[in-house]
Amino acid sequence: MAKIDFGGIVEDVVTSEEFTLAKMRKILARETVAVLGYGVQGPGQALNMRDNGIPVIVGQRQNSKSWDRAVRDGFVPGETLFPLEKAARRGTMILFLVSDAGQMATWPQVKKELNPGDALCFSHGFSVVYGDQTGIVPPSDVDVILVAPKGSGRTVRTNFLNGSGINSSYAVFQDYTGRAEERIQALGIAIGSGYLFPTTFEKEVYSDLAGERGVLMGCLAGVMEAQYALLRKHGHSPSEAFNETVEELTQSLIRLVAENGMEWMFANCSTTAQRGALDWKSRFKDAVTPLFDTLYDSVTSGRETEIVLTANSKPDYRDRLEKELSEMAESEMWKAGAAVRSLRPENRNKG
């Protein structure tokens, strides 16, 4: 492992330079990797592994959009594409990538296909950490391991194709074979990780649930809506409000942060922006810290899990989800966003 200084704290990480593709292929040569689920994370991880020279089979419910997508992506029914149970039966490393609610529903079928020495692999610690609620308790004679890309399934694929890779965490929950760590590190490199950092199943799911509800999605969407509404209340046009709230962030500032860090971005903006941002940063931090404390407590207590599983298990969940997302899309703010995006040069020049 490489030792990297993260702001004065030294961590061990696994890089693709030290854990080479040749080493990865040697370790996985003895495995049959079965990707169960071809929805969100499945396509990116399966395609990256296939492009990296790993024979991959996919398990997916037949007569579904995801099955058809797998066929379009070159997986062949009866050869590299099978119903879920048959793929699990053929696999020695079973990468369980159906949704959290889907894992609960399919676990009895998958569990009975596991053989001693198999590796049960996850990209999220949810089902195992909250096993008292999900009912997913792995048998004692398999490796239970995790590799969690820090990005969407689409980003896993696009970053692989552009050569940048994606950061991923990895963890070992149960090491039956004595090879669990090398298996999961090899899998992490195979799916296109630029580097891997160790964690635990618990820490992965706690940080993931808090992050999604916080800065990555929930907080970000809520703060954007609040600022947009404020500007509109004071007479700013939809175009101006959206550009000052979303477009400048996503098309300019966040890219500078990604490339160089927040302090660099602050140092390279106007002195007026610098002073105001530095003064208000602490006020926003103080305002949201109690809310983040409440969020983290809700995650670790299992309350968020209960909410998710209850909602996702209802027969009308997808209808209600479509309604919620439609309301967001039809809001003035995101209608303005669609108009702004259509005016970008790359979109104006299409066709």
Catalytic residues: 124
Structure tokens at 225: 């809506």
How far is residue 219 from each of residues 224, 249, 259, 313, 337, measured CA to CA in Å?
Answer: 8, 15, 23, 25, 18
Distance, in Å, from the CA atom of 308 to the CA atom of 313, rounded to the nearest integer, reads 8
Q: For residue 345, what are its two tokens? A: 């040069």
Backbone angles phi, psi at 195, to 5 degrees: -150, 160
For 168, half-sphere exposure in the C-beta direction (CA atoms, 13 angstrom radius) is 35
Strand order, beta sheet including 93-96: 2-6, 9-15, 193-198, 166-174, 143-149, 119-122, 93-96, 33-36, 56-59, 81-82
Tokens of 135: 């009912």
Q: What's the rounded Cα separation, in Å, for the pair 123 and 201?
A: 10
Q: What one-character DSSP code corresponds to residue 314? A: S
- Pair 166, 242: CB distance under 8 Å: no
For residue 176 the two structure tokens come to 């039956």
Residue 96 near residue 121 (C-beta atoms within 8 A): yes
Instruction: Identify whether the C-beta of residue 61 lies closer than 8 Å to the C-beta of residue 84.
Output: yes
